[in-house]
Structure 1
């Protein structure tokens, strides 16, 4: 049996944020916590939504105590903020950090027995749905607006906790490319490669099946043709990436990921490395490692990425072509080629063990070990 969980409602396209007041009023919500990170508040991105709330006479308060890799403390203070205000719903505006924080807040408020944030790691047996969350992404990468996953950093232990819960998915996703138009080139590239990683890992994960394959192959195609233009801030590129990353999220949220994410998570926890950058650097190396366990799937990855002549290639040739296409895209959008400037050699044992313990690792198509993950890190140095 396979299960698929998606938003109740999603809006797509330029101006989609204008639908937010009707969703709030239609759901009987009266006091909204707006969760958004400090930079988005500073640069006026959050205001694009709060102005609409003001015009509609909707009461809200802003919560912006959110770090790029949100911490247990961010969640705990958010829960208290929500309760003290007497909110009955959340609008999460931002990338994965804002949405992950909002998901954790929403789950704990309606499942107070999980007030210890660490108890949410893995697949937590919560009983109640999160408070209603309307998710408004400002980056085209994490797809947190359509996933049942969120990631919170345990600062004391220098590790990221991957939490998986069908009860945390936002009831409404508002995917408006205009909200993404102010992303700088570096962030556009990093989040875009994160989206590509979601699509490729989701396509080859052990849990993949026909329905998820449909989403992932389409996501690979849309992202591959759109990311370069999005980095150049064209309208078509932004629109393509807004759609492509959402499609990837529809898939991987339901079938899992693999060790690219397992290896990227501890880099974010230990060095605060941007998640998309870590994924982009690691992806080609892990694709090569996983290739023997992927059957013909790299043929279809290569075709989706626009490689010509794939049908005439041998297995080894089309696997190499798929990996080379990923490398070329990553290079074209300015992602570093290795981890030399990020990882300290003495940290590799800790990183490898953390990656092996990560919730994404069991989904990897090829069974692995701490020793093999260690060698993968070393090869990226």
Structure 2
């Protein structure tokens, strides 16, 4: 067996009202000028200003770039980089969900390595670590605050570039669940299903290890037990905190075991139609696992058990079916669209979507490699 490598930020602060102690940690790093990367929504809510004030109290100057799109683009990275250079920033702080985190990673990577973010598409293409980055998370799903994955939409090609690079791992991740209390219902559902996808894809991945397995199974259980509560009552802080831990565990799993065709295919939908990533994952997840069940049935049976199904008297094949039933039931409970047609995905685009999906780095660790025909069939089944 080849050596396995386990990547994770060196410091990770999790728990309600933990932002203050995270700010103290930032002060101790000795940085002087921060670029805060966020989106207009969090900027309008005053969250960026709150961070700026907290930094000021600790003698750290800051400037805000709040132009991040829901699917961050090459243009967003370039614009943020200009703000960073104009203000001589020595660190980057991302505030929000996966979109600001990924945008910030892109900015910090190019700031340290030069060139254009497109130069770093693929695996470990950079020469040196990005500018120090702190990721303050406000959603419970993408785990981008603690991974070496950075997904940026290339506006010219209408595709999502997967940048998988040890150098984009933040130095500090912050999951203060009190910052997640105001998350809208639909975002809570989509990001929660994104986390479930991370855990299941990592568990059936060909690069899974005993460490990633433990993280993935615990994440699956916690999501199955808490997501519906977090969606139904956003102020349920116990469910919010459990989801913060669960999505972090799922991140630990996929950051090291990587992912599969759900993500490879979802990235194309996001890049092509600018759709929400978590929703695309949620719709595709059961269909891809139907395809994977022919080789990964025993693993999917474990996932069904983690989701609360009694698989004690089931064969691996029956257990895999039970897993797919559980995924669909959870998606229904949190009001995920039934199919891609509801998201206005067009039948005639499927051949090109499938072609691009097969080039996505996330698909390389899927438990079984698919043909172009098979990927098209999965897209069609998900319509």
TM-score normalised by L of structure 1: 0.97
Output the CA distance in 2 between the equivalents of 1:150 and 1:242: 20
Are 1:228 and 2:228 counterparts?
yes
- Give the equivalent residue in structure 2 for 1:163: 163
Cα offset, 1:42, TM superposition = 1.1
- Give the equivalent residue in structure 1 for 2:41: 39
- Give the equivalent residue in structure 2 for 1:172: 172
Q: Give per-residue Cα distances to partners, 1:267-321, cap 9 Å, x unaligned.
A: 111111100000000000111110111141122111110112x111122221111
Unpaired segments ≥5 residues, structure 2: none
Output the CA distance in 1 between the equivalents of 2:25 and 2:202: 31
- Is the 2:297–2:320 contact (alpha carbons within 8 Å) kept by the matching residues of 1? no
Are 1:340 and 2:341 counterparts?
yes
Cα offset, 1:137, TM superposition = 0.8
Output the CA distance in 2 between the equivalents of 1:21 and 1:274: 30
Among 349, 354, 358, which residue is 1:356 paired with? 358
Alpha-carbon RMSD across the aligned residues, in angstroms, is 1.1
- Give the equivalent residue in structure 2 for 1:188: 188
SS in 1 for 2:13: strand
- Give the equivalent residue in structure 1 for 2:83: 81
SS in 2 for 1:170: coil
Among 252, 260, 263, which residue is 1:261 paired with? 263
- Is the 2:283–2:337 contact (alpha carbons within 8 Å) kept by the matching residues of 1? yes
Cα offset, 1:43, TM superposition = 2.0
- Give the equivalent residue in structure 1 for 2:313: 312
- Give the equivalent residue in structure 2 for 1:66: 68
SS in 1 for 2:240: helix
Output the CA distance in 2 between the equivalents of 1:197 and 1:41: 29
Q: Give per-residue Cα distances to partners, 1:101-138, cap 9 Å, x unaligned.
A: 111111111111xx122111001432211111110111
Number of matched pairs: 378
- Is the 1:229–1:236 contact (alpha carbons within 8 Å) kept by the matching residues of 2? no
Are 1:121 and 2:111 counterparts?
no
- Give the equivalent residue in structure 2 for 1:329: 330
Q: Give per-residue Cα distances to partners, 1:170-199, cap 9 Å, x unaligned.
A: 000011001111111000000000000000
Cα offset, 1:331, TM superposition = 0.4
- 1:3-22 to 2 correspondence within 5 Å? 3-22=5-24
Q: Give per-residue Cα distances to partners, 1:43-68, cap 9 Å, x unaligned.
A: 23334423322333421011112111
- Is the 2:177–2:240 contact (alpha carbons within 8 Å) kept by the matching residues of 1? yes
Output the CA distance in 1 between the equivalents of 2:336 and 2:171: 34
TM-score normalised by L of structure 2: 0.96
- Is the 2:145–2:173 contact (alpha carbons within 8 Å) kept by the matching residues of 1? yes
Output the CA distance in 1 between the equivalents of 2:102 and 2:24: 24
Q: Give per-residue Cα distances to partners, 1:318-338, cap 9 Å, x unaligned.
A: 111111111110100000111
- Give the equivalent residue in structure 1 for 2:150: 150
Among 303, 326, 340, which residue is 2:305 paired with? 303
Unpaired segments ≥5 residues, structure 1: none
- Is the 1:21–1:58 contact (alpha carbons within 8 Å) kept by the matching residues of 2? no
